[in-house]
Chains A and B, each alone.
Chain A
Amino acid sequence: MNQPASAYFIEDRHDPNETHTLSVLVQNEPGVLARVIGLFSGRGYNIESLTVSETESQKHLSRITIVTTGTPMVIQQIKHQLDRMIPVYRVVDMTLTKRAIERELAMVKVRGIGEPRVEALRLADAFRARVIDATTESFVFEITGNTDKISQFIDLMRPLGLVEVARTGVAAIGRGSEGM
């Protein structure tokens, strides 16, 4: 029997994880994305998806959408840690608002001829994916939707000759007339 030679007491924690989508409004200045990403890597938080783009160019505002997982306490920490960064204006937990729409865009390349090609086209139609490029032996489909829908579509394409996928990551916005 191998006993550890040192007497240590390391605490385990097993709270269940949750997935949350956060919208973060930031001043668009050099280094701001590095700050946000550095926060996640430095403190050991997860990033499932991250999208960023300038949304109001006169005011130099960018909107970052982050999908993250963690225990409820960790999620709360993430929000506070983001909020206290100097260039961050607002952090909204879209998951908690329960009124958020989330969309992702993917471009999916499928190669095949004959029956699989026809089947791919049929499924694309069912998923409201558009053909944005075609050759005699391939298609590129463009599909938007929530993450699950896109993942499902990609799974279906796999046996039909999936070549590669480019996904944008999640963007989210609240329902109704109010801004964040």
Chain B
Amino acid sequence: MTDKSHDPNQMTGAAMIVRALIDHGVQHLFGYPGGAVLPIYDEIFQQSEVEHILVRHEQGAGHAAEGYARSTGKPGVVLVTSGPGATNMVTPLADALMDSIPLVCITGQVPTHLIGNDAFQECDTVGITRPCTKHNWLVRNVNDLAKVLHEAFYVATTGRPGPVVVDVPKDVQFATGTYHPPRKSDVHVSYAPRVKGDAMQIRKAVALLASAKRPVIYSGGGVVNSGPEASRLLRELVEVTGFPITSTLMGLGAYPASGPNWLGMLGMHGTYEANMTMHDCDVMLCVGARFDDRITGRTDAFSPNSKKIHIDIDPSSINKNIRVDVPIIGDCGDVLADILQVFKAEAKKPDIKSWWQEIAVWRARNSLAYKPNRDVIMPQYAIQRLFELTRGRDTYITTEVGQHQMWAAQFYGFEEPHRWMTSGGLGTMGYGLPAAIGVQVAHPDSLVIDIGGDASVQMTMQEMSTAVQYELPVKIFILNNQYMGMVRQWQQLLHGNRLSHSYSEALPDFVKLAEAYGGVGLQVSKPGDLDGAIKEMISVKKPVLFDCRVAALENCFPMIPSGKAHNEMILPAEASDPAAAFAGGKALV
């Protein structure tokens, strides 16, 4: 008989969980306790390698972990209890699935013998989270736990990253079993994401690129996800080819906004030049983006005369919405490296001078123009000032969802990847504040700003308390237009200006609210006071709620109404070509 009591790999399920986190290099864990995870909290209490950040609502833990993941490239880790703890995590899981963010979420579950009995705080966590995770597991035997935890980290972080859930019943947390460190055989043999692109397809792509007369590069969040090297390669490809480049909301920063070939963001609120270049191009190189409806507009009118190359690690992204001519399945970084190598060896920079001349005409329309105002702060101006005054600093930006998000994307110049955290696919109001907390945990000395809206920030405001507790000096920069501005804009443009329930009635006094939490509140409403207040915000070493009162009825332009084509955008009245603005306006009546 062997004596197992001295085997260091014999431990309880709860201890295995903490051990696995350590083995995967996890330094921070966002969570909230409850009955079904108490054994794990007990283990957390007795160690110091993993720091636990206590949030105020499980949704906050999820978004904080997303911000943490996106700003570091490491998986975000969450621990929540069964039942309501798990259901509160559904929004961040769905959010992370849409935006391909690696999350490992551990949920407590009622003891195995009670599963299915409608026990206290029981819910079918794996059933509820199945469609909003990349994969999930219910662990019924403590001896499966190590394998599942290691597989969970592997699945979350490889291939197209995404959220995973490991549901651990309380009796499994108490039970003793055998732990093992991560090893290759922990992973399903059926899971083998493809990283290298097919060499034939890469040659075809290079031939297309080399023959292009009107090319465009359209990059997305996949480039950011692939890691800093992919962004470097993307920049090199732009340099070597001389092609214009645009990006999705999720891909901002992969190519610098100050770069000469930058067209601005594309899509529903993208620039005129980006969308026209997409519409009229003859060769499109899509890198790590997925042709979603906010990008394509009406699909049958999307870039009708181009040959399309699509690089994506997920085969299901290929030909989902738009038929492409040269699909390349693989990691953006690997495929970009191969394309560059072949291009440099066999092709030369195509002459696209006349294409750039056309683009210059589109650029000259100045589609982001807005009417300056001396008395009220224009929201665009507020972002421009925020950008200027934080330029050159080590800054991370998160956002909520709405007009302010789009203005942030349009007017804040992102120079580096991993600096921009926003809820793109799911469009989750309430994302930005907890995401900023996650970013600040990972980068304690950086300047972390959540560009928020008056309605959105109220969805997860309680996390101010977390920020205060952990001395995380996040800056919540609220563009307060006293409306759910984006909803109001759609109602104005598409629903006869019937402003049904989009007014932010009974807003709190954000300054007092900040103070009540133990943070700092600032308010400005005059353009002349803005710079001083922003500087003050930056210098304060505490969490700040910045109530920036902006013009209430400003709309976010350009805009492609959903279901319209790229060349049917509505430009702001201030754009330099009045005919275009008029043509756009006509579409609305």
Distance between A10 CB and nearest chain B CB, rounded to angstroms: 6
Determine the distance from Cα of A102 to Cα of B134 in the docked complex, in whole angstroms: 32
Determine the distance from Cα of A35 to Cα of B134 in the docked complex, in whole angstroms: 11
Distance between B63 CB and nearest chain A CB, rounded to angstroms: 23
If A6-B495, A9-B561 touch, does A80 touch B316 (CB 8 Å cutoff)?
Answer: yes
Number of chain A interface residues as a range: 20 to 34
Contact A77 B316 (CB under 8 A): yes
| A54 located at the interface, meaning its Cβ lies under 8 Å from any Cβ of chain B in the complex | no
| A104 located at the interface, meaning its Cβ lies under 8 Å from any Cβ of chain B in the complex | no
Contact A73 B323 (CB under 8 A): yes
Residue in A closest to B293 when the chains form the complex, CB atoms: A11
If A6-B494, A73-B323 touch, does A31 touch B315 (CB 8 Å cutoff)?
Answer: no
Determine the distance from Cα of A9 to Cα of B494 in the docked complex, in whole angstroms: 10
Chain B contact residues, majority secondary structure: loop
Distance between A56 CB and nearest chain B CB, rounded to angstroms: 13
Number of chain B interface residues as a range: 35 or more
| A7 located at the interface, meaning its Cβ lies under 8 Å from any Cβ of chain B in the complex | yes
User: Which of B66-74, B123-131, B264-272 is the contact stretch?
Assistant: B123-131
Query: Which of B314, B318, B494 is A8 in contact with, Cβ under 8 Å?
Result: B494
Query: Which of A10, A31, A80, A83 is B130 in contact with, Cβ under 8 Å?
Result: A31
Distance between B97 CB and nearest chain A CB, rounded to angstroms: 12
Distance between A151 CB and nearest chain B CB, rounded to angstroms: 33
| B588 located at the interface, meaning its Cβ lies under 8 Å from any Cβ of chain A in the complex | yes
Contact A87 B190 (CB under 8 A): yes
Mark each residue of chain A from 5 to 46: 1 if its CB lies under 8 Å from any CB of chain B, else 0: 111111100000000000000110011001100100010000
Distance between B252 CB and nearest chain A CB, rounded to angstroms: 26
What residues of A have a CB within 8 angstroms of the CB of B191 in the complex?
A: 86
What residues of B have a CB within 8 angstroms of the CB of A27 in the complex?
A: 188, 190
Mark each residue of chain B from 161 to 182: 1 if its CB lies under 8 Å from any CB of chain A, else 0: 0000000000000000000000
What residues of A have a CB within 8 angstroms of the CB of B300 in the complex?
A: 11
Contact B299 A11 (CB under 8 A): yes
What residues of B have a CB within 8 angstroms of the CB of A76 in the complex?
A: 319
What residues of B have a CB within 8 angstroms of the CB of A8 in the complex?
A: 494, 562-563
Distance between B467 CB and nearest chain A CB, rounded to angstroms: 36
* Chain B positions 544-582 with a Cβ under 8 Å from a chain A Cβ: 561-564
Mark each residue of chain A from 76 to 98: 1 if its CB lies under 8 Å from any CB of chain B, else 0: 11001101111111000000000
What residues of A have a CB within 8 angstroms of the CB of B562 in the complex?
A: 8-9
What residues of A have a CB within 8 angstroms of the CB of B563 in the complex?
A: 8-11
What residues of B have a CB within 8 angstroms of the CB of A85 in the complex?
A: 135
If A5-B496, A80-B315, A86-B155 touch, does A38 touch B131 (CB 8 Å cutoff)?
Answer: yes
| B287 located at the interface, meaning its Cβ lies under 8 Å from any Cβ of chain A in the complex | no
Determine the distance from Cα of A92 to Cα of B191 in the docked complex, in whole angstroms: 17
Mark each residue of chain B from 250 to 265: 1 if its CB lies under 8 Å from any CB of chain A, else 0: 0000000000000000
* Chain B positions 477-501 with a Cβ under 8 Å from a chain A Cβ: 493-496, 498
Distance between B172 CB and nearest chain A CB, rounded to angstroms: 15
Contact A84 B314 (CB under 8 A): yes
Distance between A107 CB and nearest chain B CB, rounded to angstroms: 32
If A9-B561, A10-B563, A73-B323 touch, does A81 touch B316 (CB 8 Å cutoff)?
Answer: yes
Contact B495 A42 (CB under 8 A): no
If A11-B299, A11-B300, A30-B138 touch, does A6 touch B131 (CB 8 Å cutoff)?
Answer: no
What residues of A have a CB within 8 angstroms of the CB of B564 in the complex?
A: 9
Considering residues B190, B587, B589, which has the most beta carbons from chain A within 10 angstroms of its beta carbon? B190
What residues of B have a CB within 8 angstroms of the CB of A5 in the complex?
A: 495-496, 498
Distance between A158 CB and nearest chain B CB, rounded to angstroms: 40
Residue in A closest to B494 when the chains form the complex, CB atoms: A7
Residue in B closest to A31 when the chains form the complex, CB atoms: B126
What residues of B have a CB within 8 angstroms of the CB of A80 in the complex?
A: 314-316, 318
Determine the distance from Cα of A77 to Cα of B291 in the docked complex, in whole angstroms: 14
| B371 located at the interface, meaning its Cβ lies under 8 Å from any Cβ of chain A in the complex | no
Contact B323 A34 (CB under 8 A): no
Distance between B188 CB and nearest chain A CB, rounded to angstroms: 5
What residues of A have a CB within 8 angstroms of the CB of B344 in the complex?
A: none
What residues of A have a CB within 8 angstroms of the CB of B135 in the complex?
A: 85-86
Determine the distance from Cα of A81 to Cα of B587 in the docked complex, in whole angstroms: 37
Some 8 contacts from A to B, beta carbons below 8 A apart, are A7-B493, A7-B495, A11-B298, A35-B130, A76-B319, A80-B316, A80-B318, A87-B188
Those 4 A-B pairs whose CB atoms lie nearest each other, nearest first: A9-B563, A80-B316, A89-B190, A86-B135
Please name 7 further chain A to chain B contacts, defined as beta carbons within 8 Å, in addition to the given A6-B495, A31-B130, A86-B134, sorted by A numbering.
A7-B561, A7-B588, A11-B563, A26-B190, A38-B130, A73-B319, A86-B191
